[in-house]
Structure 1
Amino acid sequence: MQELIFITNWVHPEVVDRLRADFRVETNANGRQLDKEELMEKAREAAGLMVFMPDSLDDALLAGCPKLRIVAGALKGYDNFDVQACTRRGIWFSNVPDLLTEPTAELVIGLIIGLGRNVLEGDRYIRSGAFRGWEPRLYGTGLAGRTVGIIGLGAVGRSVVRRLQGFRCSIVYSDSAQMPASFELDYGVTRVSLPELLRASDYVLPLVPLKPETKHLLDAKRIAQMKPGSFLVNCCRGSVVDERAVQEALSTGHLQGYAADVFEMEDWLRQDRPQCIAPELLNQPKTLFTPHLGSAVDEVRKNIALEAAENIREALQGKRPRGAVNCPGR
């Protein structure tokens, strides 16, 4: 009998077809997020599991899946998954590290422009029926002549830098590693300390993974160090930013605006995570939110799932998956 693969969310039919050539495949086709008990029941007999951003795995769940040999994330960041528990139980964990970079960087630029130029407020004003032609209102902040500060110059950060060329803005970055001199010269970026970046930047972009040391990296203290009237745009992980502190800074006017594609409530392995986005933050007028659209480009999402499928195929053939992030021993 063929080994079972369970896919926890909707995927393109091509992904299922590719796996069904060699395996039995079951999917959560309705796209509703499975709770822990449902996921354990569905995965109990599976040799391979394809997971997505809303999922989370801990040791207790893995204990209920004795046949499991690989968990393949159709994602880049994997802080919702206990990779160490996978390793202890001899289970591969893989991700797709590269395909999300470009669409995420595109969304960052879109949120910067949308927030600074009052695009959402303008749309609401038009739809209200009050617009009768040009009038002096909704003056915003452009990028030309401004300073953009990027915290973490990994793959997404570098991709954002490339897309900012031509906007005539200054770019500074803070990172534990310094970029090669050729990159800094070619793209006109300058490495500074984090306090310097916060003081100087009109737009602050955290682009770091969620780790214990980056949880609430931008807390009330650091937000207070930001340039008065600046903007904060978060497209990495919700808990890198303290949303309560953001709300307070918006209320006082210290922050001119906040845009986010990610939220603290999504960071499932945080025992103290909020269960929703605070109404006080949602009601702030100078905000622009998207529902985790970083990689939500149709062709990109299909290719991400296809690569996750290849990771499953390789692991179940006894090979090291190309996207392996651990090295389990049995």
Structure 2
Amino acid sequence: MSEKIVVTNRIHSEVRARLEQLGHVVVNPSIEPWSQSVLSEQLKDATAMMGFMTDCVDEKLLKQAPSLKIVACALKGFDNYDIPACTARGIWVSIVPDLLTEPTAELAVGLGISLGRFILQGDHLMRTTAFKGWRAQLFGQGLHNSVVAILGLGMVGQAIAQRLSGFGCKHLLGVDPLNTMAGVISCNLEEALTTADYVFVAIPLTDSSINMLNHEQLVYCKPGQLMINVGRGSVVNEQAVADALEQGRLAGYAADVFACEDWGLENRPHQIEPRLLAHPNTVLTPHLGSAVSAVRLAIEHRAADNIIAALRGEVPPDAMNQDAMSVSAV
């Protein structure tokens, strides 16, 4: 039987050609995501789906997809995909666990440097005034001899620490109850916030991490602290960050992730906190963590590997629910 494979975002022609060897491939041609109603219509007779961060797969959607065998996520964070609901229907769920790590860590360090050294302000100054040479202005802070805290020492957090090790930081602190790393001093969240010059947030979104950095926690911020978020938007309370910036408790905030992107949360905001957009000491990028051409191609190929395996009756190499599927098959 010819398969129908639904791909919810544009993909490279190489990847499409591989999938077309299995059957009919339907690809969203636009950079804008499909609505849930359009996605539901496309999945009615689909056997496989390649999903992206802008998608939300829940029980309601799955009821409209009776033939679905696999949801292959072309991403690492899967909080907007209901894995138990998929498992209950015998549907594989796979992710791409490792390819996003290095480019996300690179971007995190870049955001930190941009924030600390007033790169955006300097660029704006060059474009709006006549440059007459050096002036005593825009004095920021560097990573050298700074205390840097990393919240979350998973793959991304460890990759950030590895890159920072070459900058001559005074201390690297790590906040993670499950993971430790050589050369990184373990501490709790309050200790990190009260002592660090830079705080890098690399925490995935879970029930326990939602709004982890809220008004109550941000009162501990060391004066002049810079915060960089490349984990998940809703780990940080954006209103609390805006308040901390306005009150001078935070000197700057950089982010590549935002609460409005966390599709799996029913009460997510539908826009970025306006005060973050307006504040002069913020650096905000449109989720560019994995936006490296070679990396994106590799991610798509990896998601395709999982689809091909599932449609051949094999266990997808990156299946998140293999143990649960094995139990349900007994």
2:33 match: secondary structure: coil
Q: Which amino acid aligns with 2:244?
A: A
What residue is the counterpart of 1:215 in the other structure? 210
Q: Which amino acid aligns with 1:176?
A: P
Q: Which amino acid aligns with 2:141?
A: T
* Partner of residue 287 from structure 1, selected from 282, 306, 315: 282
CA distance in 2, matches of 1:131, 1:173: 42
Q: Which amino acid aligns with 1:109?
A: V
1:46 match: secondary structure: coil
Asked if residue 189 in structure 1 is aligned to residue 190 in structure 2, the reply is no
CA distance in 2, matches of 1:43, 1:129: 54
What residue is the counterpart of 2:308 in the other structure? 313
Percent of aligned positions with the same letter in both sequences?
47
Instruction: String of CA shifts for 1:53-99, please: whole Å, max 9, x gaps.
Output: 11111100010000000000000000011111101111000000000
Asked if residue 224 in structure 1 is aligned to residue 219 in structure 2, the reply is yes
What residue is the counterpart of 2:133 in the other structure? 133
Deviating above 4 A after TM superposition, structure 1's stretches of 4 or more consecutive aligned residues are: none
Q: Which runs of 5+ in 2 are unaligned?
A: none
CA distance in 1, matches of 2:195, 2:33: 41
Displacement, 1:26? 1.1
Instruction: String of CA shifts for 1:147-180, please: whole Å, max 9, x gaps.
Output: 110111011111111111221102010111242x
CA distance in 2, matches of 1:315, 1:136: 61
CA distance in 1, matches of 2:269, 2:166: 39
CA distance in 1, matches of 2:22, 2:268: 40
Contact 1:79/1:269 (8 A) holds in 2:
yes
What residue is the counterpart of 2:108 in the other structure? 108
- Residues 225-304 of structure 1: pairs in structure 2 closer than 5 A: 225-304=220-299
- Residues 142-181 of structure 1: pairs in structure 2 closer than 5 A: 142-169=142-169, 170-179=171-180
What residue is the counterpart of 1:89 in the other structure? 89
Q: Which amino acid aligns with 1:304?
A: I
Aligned residues between the structures: 324
2:227 match: secondary structure: strand
What residue is the counterpart of 2:75 in the other structure? 75
CA distance in 1, matches of 2:209, 2:131: 44
Contact 2:154/2:179 (8 A) holds in 1:
no
CA distance in 2, matches of 1:40, 1:105: 35
TM value normalised by structure 1: 0.96
Deviates further, 24-33 or 138-147: 24-33
CA distance in 2, matches of 1:80, 1:177: 23
Contact 1:87/1:326 (8 A) holds in 2:
yes
Asked if residue 55 in structure 1 is aligned to residue 55 in structure 2, the reply is yes
Q: Which runs of 5+ in 1 are unaligned?
A: none
Instruction: String of CA shifts for 1:205-256, please: whole Å, max 9, x gaps.
Output: 1211100100011001111111111011000100000000000000011100
2:47 match: secondary structure: strand
Deviates further, 320-329 or 302-311: 320-329
1:157 match: secondary structure: helix
Asked if residue 98 in structure 1 is aligned to residue 106 in structure 2, the reply is no
Q: Which amino acid aligns with 1:26?
A: V
